Structure 1
Amino acid sequence: MSLNFSQGLVLENNHVLLRSLQESDLEYLVPFAINEPNTWEYSMVRVDGKDNMIKYIQTAIDGRENQNQFPFIVFDKKSGKYAGCTRFYDIKLEFKTLQLGYTWYGEQFRGTGINKQCKYLLLQFAFETLGMERVEFRADNNNKRSIAAMKSIGCKEEGILRSHMPTLESEVRRDAIILSILKKEWFDEVKYNLLKKRVY
């Protein structure tokens, strides 16, 4: 199945709802940018303050229009609040690969299990609906919390890209860790192990 970039997409279960990011979602996300700037400590984009959140949302939507990204806003049903964002990117349907990232949640949602709920829905859609053969994840190699979260859902570490990209701090470059899940791994083990962990 191909991904329709021009239509909205909703993925949900009893705990979370992920839907296509829209410009109007600024009202839900800007409080994070103003009150929790450390959320993007290891990010390649600075999303502190309203203006930067506007740019962040517009860049994500531009990526969808260019058909190489598909961003989502995350709604936590337990609290009744919007919790953050995530997206598919570097989408190569012809090769049946994509990357999953740009994932962040507000402080009150970290450690609640929401990430595993979201990853289950996203990986299920990628492998079972889109027919992907590989889903890749990347992170700053210093971002231990993010790396631990990726490994906890079943990602396999592949290696380190040394001095891969510049950071937002001048003179500093980051090493990027690459992890992935393959289609066979999803059906053989990751899906069922993740199902067991999807509990708040």
Structure 2
Amino acid sequence: MALNFNKTAEYTLEDESVLLRPLQITDVLNLLNISVNEPETWDYSSKSAAGEEALKAYIEEALVARGAGTEYPFIVYDKKNNAYAGSTRFYDIQVNNGALQLGYTWYGKDFRGTGLNKHCKFLLLQFAFETLGAERVEFRADNRNQRSIAAMKSIGCTVEGVIRSHMPLRDGSRRDSIILSILKDEWYNTVKQNLSNKLR
């Protein structure tokens, strides 16, 4: 079944803790503090947004991909702390295959380990499966990024395997990428309830 996805729609997702709205070029200002002061945020990322120019390029590239219908980037707002926390997105959106990936997720250090990520993932997964009609949501990470992998497992992802020497990194080396996923039936049968129980 094809995804019910409209690249021009202004999708906004929220609960009592977090608001996700479409990323805009003006969000350079909202994310600049993290970008300038916490460059280690992108240590395991293929694309860095560390520094004002890099952040601007990062957002511009994301918006071009949204225009092409292959990605849909969000900015994350922490409602409890009244502060912008980071960014995340749907990418590799395969409308005809009913599949997409969820990633490019990063938060400032003050927002890690607070439960914010679980709220974001719940909203994004609920939207992907229940509004877009996804059959599959995939996640990828650098196989060395244990914090990210643990976070994905904790929300109910199943490890599928590792793609060796999958992609180049900024330092010229290559990374192995771990692949995880959640399927539609898993969302409805177990993952949704289990993840909901972990929200705080």
TM-score between both structures, scaled by the size of structure 1: 0.98
**TM superposition shift of 1:2:** 2.1
Q: Could you say what the CA RMSD is over the residues aligned between the two structures, in angstroms?
A: 0.7
**TM superposition shift of 1:178:** 0.1
Counting only pairs closer than 5 Å after superposition, residues 93-172 of structure 1 correspond to structure 2 as: 93-170=95-172, 172=173
2: distance between equivalents of 1:28 and 1:36? 14
Query: How many residues matched?
Result: 198
Q: What stretches of structure 2 of length at least 5 have no aligned partner?
A: none
2: distance between equivalents of 1:165 and 1:43? 11
Q: Which amino acid letter does the alignment assign opposite residue 193 of structure 2?
A: Y
Q: Which amino acid letter does the alignment assign opposite residue 187 of structure 2?
A: W
**TM superposition shift of 1:123:** 0.2
Secondary structure of 2:113's aligned partner: coil
1:14 aligned to which of 6, 11, 16 = 16
Deviation sequence 1:92-145 (CA, Å, 0-9, x none): 111000000000000000000000000000000000011100000000000000
**TM superposition shift of 1:3:** 1.7
**TM superposition shift of 1:7:** 2.5
Runs (4 or more) in structure 1 with deviation over 4 Å come to none
1: distance between equivalents of 2:8 and 2:182? 27
In structure 2, what is the equivalent of residue 60 of structure 1? 62
Deviation sequence 1:70-109 (CA, Å, 0-9, x none): 0000000000000000000000111000000000000000
2: distance between equivalents of 1:183 and 1:51? 39
TM-score between both structures, scaled by the size of structure 2: 0.98
Percent identical among aligned pairs is 57
2: distance between equivalents of 1:165 and 1:63? 19
Q: Which amino acid letter does the alignment assign opposite residue 175 of structure 1?
A: D
Q: What stretches of structure 1 of length at least 5 have no aligned partner?
A: none
